[in-house]
Amino acid sequence: MSFHGVDFYGLDELLTEDEILVRDNMRAFVDAEVMPRINKAFRDGVLPMDLAKKLGAMGALGAHLKGYGCAGMGSIAYGLLLQELERGDSGVRSFASVQGSLCMTPIYEYGTEEQKQKWLPRMAAGEAIGCFALTEPDFGSNPAGMLSNAVKTPSGYKLNGTKRWITNGSIADVAIVWAKLDGRVRGFLVERGTPGFTTADIHGKFSLRASVTSELVLEDVEVPEDAMLPGAIGIKGPLNILSNARYGISWGAIGAAMACFEEATEYAKSRKQFSRPIAGYQLVQAKLADMLTEITKAQLVSWRLGKLKDSGKLRPQQVSLAKRNNVYWALHIARSARDILGANGVTDEYQCGRHMCNLESVFTYEGTHDIHTLILGQEITGIAAFE
């Protein structure tokens, strides 16, 4: 039985023909390309690398950008695409988010024409892979405090620093490294194999196991003049990019939540205890009712956010609300589904345990839940709790 999604409030009526086509085609793609092998990939702790080119052929990488081999989709279609990918697995969606939202977008927004021509078509096709190197071992929620630095040399720049928790780090052909030049954060395109640039994968993860997470070390890495992204000056550069990526995460979380809700509902209807299906018990029904309610609310939040984004009215605080809410509830729904599945929920014969573990990372990355709480706190009161 293939996945049918959740549409309690008739959201389909708010979608255009092409948005529905994107969703349905990505759903079929995930059914065929992700579902049959994601368990093994998660168990083995590997990202199925052929997915990069397959996602590229689907046009799923950087689908929101125009030109350079990209599809030029609207924000809602882009969100639905990520929702479907994360219905498969958060690690697979993270791959697409990092490639499209975090790496292709800054090249597209801040890069020179030469940089765009060099990287975007190959990245859109999944032939070249990117990573976004902002977070450092000691600077997560406070990226502006970063220690990585760049100094001007006669032929370009010399970079030093350590980056950590970098998705796609060791498989990337190009790293977008954020480092301070004369005290201001700038972005540099550092190609794999540049002397002094090394990567090491982070192992032992409970979460996002079908995804590559790495540490990047830059020791006197010399890059040419044209490696710098001219359009990004200051910490606002990477922060704007993150805000865009978070928009996609708000959709992705809905996909994971739907997968868990569907699994828990089917399980509850077939699992009998005391000679009747557990779906007939009030405590189980209360959990399912909460799941449906929160998925429906999350859909409406993300749909409206997409409309705001397309009309250019989107504010980062609005993105914070959606990321914070949708990921929080997706994680809650995954835990609740795991609970309904009882002992079966802790095995990888079912998917809710995998989604639950994955969502712990999603809860923390791209601005932790708590940081988004404080952003909203500042929005409401005008007082920043983190400064």
Partner 1 sequence: MKILVTVKRVPDPEQKVKFKGTSVDVSAANWVINAFDEYAIEAALRLNENAATGEKLGETIALSIGPKDVSQQLRSALAMGADRAILVGGADEELDSFAVARIVKAVVEREKPDLLLMGKLATDGEASQVPQLCAALLDWPQATFAAQITANAEGLEVKREVDTGIEVKQVKLPAVVSVDLRIISPTAVVNGKTPATHAYQEGPRYASLKGIMAAKKKEIKEISLADLGVKAAPVTKLVSAEPPAGRKAGVKVKDVAELVSKLKNEAKVL
Which positions touch partner 1 (CB under 8 A)? 1-2, 4, 17-18, 20-22, 24-25, 28-29, 32, 57-60, 63, 71-73, 77, 81
> In degrees, to the nearest 5, what angle opens at C-alpha 310 toward C-alphas 134 and 355?
55
Q: Which residues pair with 71 in a beta bridge?
A: 66
Per-residue exposure over 332-363, b if at least 16 CB sit within 10 Å of its own CB, e if not: bbbbbbbebbeeebeeeebbbbbbbbbbbbbb
Which residues fall within 8 angstroms of residue 274, CB to CB, at 6 or more apart?
none
Q: How far is the CB of 339 from partner 1 (least distance, A)?
A: 28
CB 131, min distance to partner 1, A = 23
Amino acid at site 333:
I
* Signed CA dihedral, 167, 205, 290, 288: sign only: positive
* Cβ contact 118:236 at 8 Å: no
Nearer to partner 1 among residue 124 and residue 331 (C-beta): 124
Beta-bridged to residue 218, according to DSSP, are: 161, 197
In the complex, the smallest distance separating the C-beta of residue 4 from partner 1, rounded to whole angstroms, is 7
**Which two tokens mark 147?**
């220690």
Taking the complex as a whole, how short is the minimal distance between the CB of residue 70 and partner 1, in angstroms? 8
- Shortest separation between residue 106's beta carbon and partner 1, angstroms: 21
How many CA atoms lie within 13 Å of 117's alpha carbon, on the beta-carbon side?
Answer: 3
Q: Would you call 133 helix, strand, or coil by DSSP?
A: strand
Contacts of 362 (CB under 8 A, 6+ apart): 90, 94, 249, 252, 253, 256, 327, 330, 331
- Closest to partner 1 by CB, 63 vs 305, is 63
- When the beta carbons of 138 and 266 are compared against partner 1, the nearer one is 266
Among candidate residues 219, 360, 366, 387, the one labeled active-site is: 366
User: Whose Cβ is closer to partner 1: residue 229's or residue 258's?
Assistant: 258
For partner 1, the closer of residues 56 and 238 by Cβ is 56
Kindly state the smallest distance separating residue 217's Cβ from partner 1, in Å.
Answer: 36
DSSP state of 330: H
Strand (E) or helix (H) holding 95: helix 90-96
User: Between 17 and 114, whose beta carbon lies closer to partner 1?
Assistant: 17
Known active-site residue 33: no
CA distance 378 to 372: 10
Q: Identify which of 101, 118, 370, 339 has the alpha carbon closest to the alpha carbon of residue 226.
A: 118
Q: What share of residues in the chain are helix, strand, coil (percent, to 5)?
A: 55, 15, 30
Q: How far is the CB of 79 from partner 1 (least distance, A)?
A: 13
| Residue number with CB closer to partner 1 (55 or 305) | 55
Q: Catalytic residue positions?
A: 366
